[in-house]
Each structure stands twice: as structure tokens, then as C-alpha cells.
Amino acid sequence: MRFWLNRGIDGFRLDVINFISKNQSFPDSDQVVLKGTEYYAAGPRLHEYLRGIGDVLAEFHAFSVGEMPCVYDPEEIIRSVGADRGELSMIFHFDFVTIDYGPKGKFSPREWTVSELATIADKWQRFMYDHDGWNALYVENHDQPRSVSRYACDCPKHRVQSAKMLASFIGLQGGTLFVYQGQELGMVNVPKEWPLEEYKDVEIWNHWKDYKDASPDVQRAVLDQYQKKGRDSSRTPMQWDATRHAGFTAPGTEPWIRVNPSYRQLNAAAEVADANSTFHFWKRLLAARKLYKDVFVYGDFALESPHPNDSDAKLMAYRRIGMGRDAYVVCNFGEEKEVWEGLPEGSTEGTVILSSVVKEGKTVSGGETMELGAFETVVVLVHRE
């Protein structure tokens, strides 16, 4: 660590760092899914090792973010990231990205609800605020499918709105935001038509061994899960422009994996040139985080809706609470119009500071409802009296 820190790096991203301590008696596991993790996901010497890492980081005032899968107890996680623990700066939890895992693991289906997603957000926001920890915010990385395809709609009609809405959902919560390459463009999963032979992910091919002799119906169901959750969708070449191979490789050079054919319309050059693109929405969102730091960086968090038991809800709203002003972040996760109940009756007038459609600058009165279209998002700033 000192070798790299002495050369000026600012910190480390630590892969599956919670796996570094094992039960040395190596007992057999009774778990069917994620077999053995009960003995090494948070092993007996984990915090001893993390404090050693933290001591070195402290010498350099350096940063760390640890990937921490298979640990679902917040009390265990806060032992790694609590401000007084001297271990990690923050961790990547996995609750958002395992929400669609079925009873047989990642490649088995599960339907999730917006209220579940909202409950997860509220759980981690509140827990870190109440226990002097800090969140790492992400919905995409090199191990995850594209968020637009996973949590919203990647069809041409709704793709852009979906990408902007998800940017608001994750980007305005409290914590340090991580944006994965292509997420700022709203890149989507590989096509459903891709045959198995197009996939490169070793996780998929190892899983397929158990299904290569299954019935055609079962195989189609498994392939559907590969397209929805496989890692290849995040590993296809970055879509720079509409030229051959999306501008990723030199002429005559084949990339290691096929380019997502969406590159012809969905690429960086096109989005930079379009003021209404997902790219420019992300720019406005990040500018808002900086402009209203007291709200979006240092402010508190309160989930406004939906109710945890409302399994049919499509609208999610949360409030960030700053110094004398609040921001309401409203996200429609559905294909139909939804009505937001708006600012509390009697509150001062608010202003739309961020919108996925042309609503920025619009004023909103207390008690006034607002209709949001399919996958629309709006952010309203209110000054408290």
C-alpha cells in the first residue's frame, strides 16, 4: 500500500475485502446458495486486518472503498466503516444489485417492487446517518448489468427518460457517488437475441454446465436471465461514436467482445451534441450536487413514499434536508402517468431545479399535486421559513 501511496494515489478500491479472513478449521457448509460464505464473509480476523489497512491509509489521509458482498447485517458492516473504527472509508453493499436474485441465486428469476427498492435506500441512508458511517452509491459496475435495463425500461420509447430518472434516484442520495462507464450515456444490456455463443462471461459458462442438457423451455428461461443479469452487458466496448466498433478499436482490429448494436444511436458523440441527452442530464445533476452541498452532500435523508407495504407503488419520493432548505426528489418507475402529492400543505413555494422534461424553473405551491409521465423525474427545492 505504501508503495502506491508514496507515488501519489489517493486511495484504494478493495475487491471483496471482507473475504480476507477464513475460519481455519474449514468447516463444511450447509448453505445451498453462496455456499461457505457464512464462514468467510466476515471471518474471525476481518477487523484486525481492516484496522491494519486503516492505519496505513491514515498515514496518508487516503481514501478506501471496500466491496463487501454476502454481508447483510448492518451492525456487522458498521464495524468496518464507522467513523471511529479506523478501518474503511465506505463499502459497496449489495442490497440494490441482488434485489432481483431468485431462490436459486443470481440466474433464477425474482420480481421486485418499487417499495422494496425504496426500503433498501431508506435502510442504508438512515443507518449510516444514525451510526456515523458513510454510503457508497452505485447501481452499475463491471459486475452488474446496465441499470436502465434492470430497474426501468430500455425500450427506445422510454430509455432516455429511464436513464435520467435512475440518475436522480441514485445520484441525489447521501454518500459518495460512483458512476460506471457508459452509465452517464444510459447504455443498455446486450440484445435479447444474442445466442449463448456471444457471451464471454465465465460465470455464465460455469452456470450453463448445469443446464446444457435441460429442456428447451428451461434453457430459454436461463438464457433470459443471462441477458438480464450477466456481466457482459457492462463489459461490451464503450460506445464512443457511430463508426465501426463504436470507435473503440483501431480500423481492422476486432474487440474481445462484440459491440452492443445500440451504439449506432447511443454513443458519446451523439449525446454530447444533444443538450437533452442523458449525458447532459448527468452534468446538470452533478452541478446541482455541488451548488447545493448543504442539501445533497451534507443534508439529512427522509423517505417520503412509497409505504413499505405498497407493493403496487410506482412512484418513489425522498427528501434531502439542508440548512434552511429541502429538496424533494421524485421518481416514476412506471410506464403510466403517476401523481405526486406534492409539497406539504402550507409549505413555502418550491422551484424545480432538475427535471427530465422541460419543467426546470417551474414553481410549485404547497398542496399542489404534480403529474409525472412514464419514468419521469423531478427535483424541487424549497426554502423553509
Per-residue pLDDT of the chain (385 residues; tens, 9 = 90+): 999 999 999 999 999 999 999 999 999 998 877 888 999 999 999 999 999 999 999 999 999 999 998 888 888 889 999 999 999 999 999 999 999 999 999 999 999 999 999 999 999 999 999 999 999 999 999 999 999 999 999 999 999 999 999 999 999 999 999 999 999 999 999 999 999 999 999 999 999 999 999 999 999 999 999 999 999 999 999 999 999 999 999 888 999 999 999 999 999 999 999 999 999 999 999 999 999 999 999 999 999 999 988 999 999 999 999 999 999 999 999 999 999 999 998 889 999 999 999 888 999 999 999 999 999 999 999 998 7
Query: Do the bridges between strand 11-14 and strand 63-67 make them parallel or antiparallel, or are there none, so unpaired?
Result: parallel
| Distance in angstroms (rounded) separating the CA atoms of residues 80 and 94 | 15
| 204-213 per-residue burial string, b: 16 or more CB within 10 A, e: under 16 | beebbeeeee
Residues 240 and 185 sit within 8 Å (Cβ to Cβ): no
Question: What pLDDT, on the 0 to 100 scale, is given for residue 24?
Answer: 93
Question: What pLDDT, on the 0 to 100 scale, is given for residue 384?
Answer: 87
Q: How far apart are the first and last CA of the chain?
A: 50
| Distance in angstroms (rounded) separating the CA atoms of residues 126 and 132 | 10
| Distance in angstroms (rounded) separating the CA atoms of residues 72 and 62 | 27
Which of 15, 55, 59, 130 is labelled catalytic? 15
Question: What pLDDT, on the 0 to 100 scale, is given for residue 251?
Answer: 81
Question: What pLDDT, on the 0 to 100 scale, is given for residue 215?
Answer: 97
pTM: 0.95
Question: What pLDDT, on the 0 to 100 scale, is given for residue 34?
Answer: 80
Helix residue ranges, H only, 156-300: 159-171, 202-208, 216-229, 268-273, 278-291, 293-296
Top-level class of domain 2-278: alpha beta
Residues with Cβ within 8 Å of 243's Cβ and at least 6 positions away in sequence, in order, are none
Look at residue 126 and give its three-state secondary structure.
helix
> Can you spell out the DSSP letters for 21-41?
---TT------SSSTTHHHHT
The CATH classification number of 300-383 equals 2.60.40.1180
Residues facing residue 177 across a β-bridge: 137
Residue with cell 434485489: 99
Which of 55, 59, 67, 376 is labelled catalytic? 67
Beta strands in the chain (DSSP E): 11-14, 63-67, 90-92, 136-137, 176-177, 300-305, 315-321, 325-332, 338-340, 350-355, 363-364, 370-372, 377-383
| Distance in angstroms (rounded) separating the CA atoms of residues 4 and 218 | 49
The H or E element spanning position 97 is none
- Contacts of 32-38 with CB under 8 Å at 24 or more apart are 32/104, 33/103, 33/104, 33/105, 34/70, 34/105, 37/70
Question: What pLDDT, on the 0 to 100 scale, is given for residue 359?
Answer: 84
Classify residue 20 as exposed, middle or buried by CB count within 10 Å of its CB (0-12, 13-18, 19+): middle
Active site residue 15: yes
Question: What pLDDT, on the 0 to 100 scale, is given for residue 385?
Answer: 73
Active site residue 140: no
Question: What pLDDT, on the 0 to 100 scale, is given for residue 145?
Answer: 98
| Distance in angstroms (rounded) separating the CA atoms of residues 95 and 124 | 9
| Distance in angstroms (rounded) separating the CA atoms of residues 355 and 374 | 13
Which residue ranges make up each domain of the chain? 2-278, 300-383
